[in-house]
Amino acid sequence: MRPIGPISRIGLLLAVVACASQAIGSPSDGRMAWWREARFGMFIHWGLYAVPGGEWGGKTHYGEWLRSSAQIPLAEYQPLLERFNPVKFDADAVVLAAKNAGMGYIVITTKHHDGFCLFDSAHTEFDVMSTPFKGDIMREMADACRRHGLRIGWYYSIMDWHHPDYLPRREWETDRPTEGADFERYVVYMKAQLRELLTNYGDIGVLWFDGQWEGNWNDDRGRDLEAYVRSLAPDIIVNSRIGRAGGDHGLDTESGMLGDYATPEQFIPDSDPGFDWETCMTMNDHWGYNRADKNFKSTTTLVRNLVDIASKGGNFLLNIGPTGTGEIPPESVNRLTEIGEWWKVNSESIRGTRASPFPAGRLPWGRCTTRPEPDGRTVLFLHVFDWPADRPIIAPGIYNEPVPQSAHVLGGRTSRSFPVHRAGDDIVVSHAERDRRDDVTVVRLTLHGSADVAVPPTISAAADIFIESLPVTVSSNRDRVEIRYTLDGSDPAADSPIAAPITLDRSATIRAACFRGGRLVSPVASRSFQRVPPRSPVTPANSAPGLRSQIFTWDTGDIQSVDALAEMSPRQTKVVPDFGLKHVQPREKHWGVVYAGLIRVPRTAVYEFTTASDDGSRLWIGETLVVDNDKPHSFKAERGTIALAAGLHPMHVAFFENWGGCDLKVSIRELGEAGGKREELRAAWLVHEH
């Protein structure tokens, strides 16, 4: 994990699109079934860093990034081996704490970024067997999970601050020369350890990678590693951080994430992204044990986070950081116990449920999860965060008939059933005030058939701009509805045209809604489209292959935008063949580049440009900003569209790198009927004036 605090960088992009082969959204349903059923798991960050408990050099704010954050030479960090003796560690107690809290699986750090291994590895002496403890903690955890019916998963860091062949080094690591280091040899070491972890401990449920953002790792290596681990364990579930686009916070499928599920960190999206995902989160402000950190989230917050995540189709991986002696901190124990008390009453509203059928933001009082029943009915679990004062609970826009006669509060302290009736398009649930809980009250409401909820139709098109004409599709996955639309921006009515495939030849705003028997049964969806002339090409007097590049460096700390490059003088100017950073990168951190040249497009069309970068980037065609992917962030993609006539067009791209991951990919895709796949911009597309 990355450290928590000012140097964390949050990317909140939510792009729900199709991905590359073996990408997020297309894993085997068979291997994902148990994981989707569980919905709740325990994350464990534990290692040598637990011994000092977050304190080093008189400062007390450190966690699992201790060695890097405090810039500790290896000769000073290595002696922590002699102090690691968790005599109070009890694998059964840890597993039972997770089970009693409602968790269905555990993911534990087998090796974090510092390279220390909590398992008995034949490929290093920097492991638990070299400590006074001399016990294979992974063996104990795997066995305890099986005894108590939980799945065990391994966290494994691709990054390694100890292995002599891992690159790059940090600037302060003057005690670890890079001479003779071979990253390919490190990959062999990593695969050998993964073989141990996947063949020596029985069936493993999850392989949770991290530390993939540094420059020597890329998606080709990620695909190779994924194929390797699946050759050892075909049913293993692999998280998105096996590839560069896994992102420490992102749900950015447009970046082409690998693995089975996305892994946003300390972040819950606003709505269901439509694919498998899991939020990992700390109880306090650190992943690893920090004895001074008492800023723990309340049990109410943690329960509501669990509900919020489940209502959006995700899993919640809640972290604990055991102490140097191997105990779960008492604050974590208390919260796990209290979560367990809520779970005993309300588990059916989380485990095995699906996402809410209601559009995001439609339930002011809380959240909803669903479960389809074998007899065709659907259970709605209404999770009430804010109990309406002196008012019933309103489930808006539900058209199922007949209306349920009653509902009940799970574990209610009074009469468990109370009346339900319809008021227009809404279902109204009465309640007993004495059944209210301070954290989350769950009301169980059973509908006849699948949930028929007022969800607006979807308006789909290749882009919001077009040159001559644009096909538009308006659709809904609801049964027995007619979709009617208008083109003038007015709300559709029962006599508006029925939506069939629409072809626009002029600018218009499409507004569409679902009707049943002449009655409006959904909110109105709206999307505007603009017919535009294509940008005219230019004819340079002289051109040559490649791009001009201006390279910048600075020593004043992080910058926040590519705009800062305009205030600097370039360190170097040269012609390069394409946008590959290998042609221009002057050092590991605090540098940037501005590319300038011309792009040749083969046909008059609307084109979609993408920059995927870590850190920020922007792309202009002429003076038009087409892609804005600026600000510091982990690897993520942004897109933009522009209409271009066939020929050459001025183009420039700005990019900056603060620290950590360093990557830039610039790609193009022609939209419309003649459109093709997105492809990375190579030298064949690019020239510059000279």
Write the CATH number for 84: 3.20.20.80
Give, for 302, the enclosing helix (H) or strand (E).
helix 299-311
Tokens describing residue 587: 């050092």
Within 8 A by CB and 6+ apart from 419, the residues are 405, 406, 430
Whole-number pLDDT of residue 676: 76
- The closest of 545, 551, 619 to 583, measured between CA atoms, is 551
Structural domain ending residue among the three candidates 412, 447, 482: 447
Within-domain flag for 5: no
DSSP code of residue 122? T
pLDDT of residue 16: 31
Question: What's residue 7's pLDDT?
Answer: 30
pLDDT of 435: 66
The reported pLDDT for the residue numbered 218 is: 87
Strand partners, 519: 516
Beta-ladder partners of 601? 647
C-alpha span between 307 and 319 (Å, rounded):
17
CATH of the domain at 525: 2.60.40.10
Which domain, by its residues, includes 484?
Answer: 458-531
Cβ-in-10-Å burial (0-12, 13-18, 19+) of 122 comes to exposed
Which regions of the chain are under pLDDT 70? 1-28, 246-250, 252-255, 412-416, 432-435, 673-675
Which of 599, 596, 587, 592 minimizes the C-alpha distance to 614? 592
> How many folded domains does the chain comprise?
4
pLDDT of residue 636: 84
The pTM of the full predicted model, rounded to 2 decimals, is 0.91
Question: Does the residue 552 lie in any domain?
Answer: yes
For residue 658, the domain's CATH number is 2.60.120.1560
Residue 579 lies in a domain: yes
Residue ending a domain, among 476, 510, 531, is 531
3-state secondary structure of 66: helix
pLDDT at position 674, please? Answer: 60
Judged by DSSP in three states, 79 sits in helix
| CATH, residue 398 | 2.60.40
Examine the domain organization and report whether 637 and 572 are in the same domain.
yes
Q: How far is CA 326 from the centre of its chain?
A: 30
Same domain for 145 and 217 = yes
Q: Where is the domain boundary, 531, 556, 588?
A: 531
527 plus 547 within the same structural domain: no
Largest Cα–Cα separation, the chain: 85
How far apart (Å, rounded) are the C-alpha atoms in residues 560 and 646?
36
Inside any domain, residue 443 = yes
Query: Do 398 and 462 reside in the same domain of the chain?
Result: no
Do 595 and 635 share a structural domain? yes
Together in a domain, 238 and 342? yes
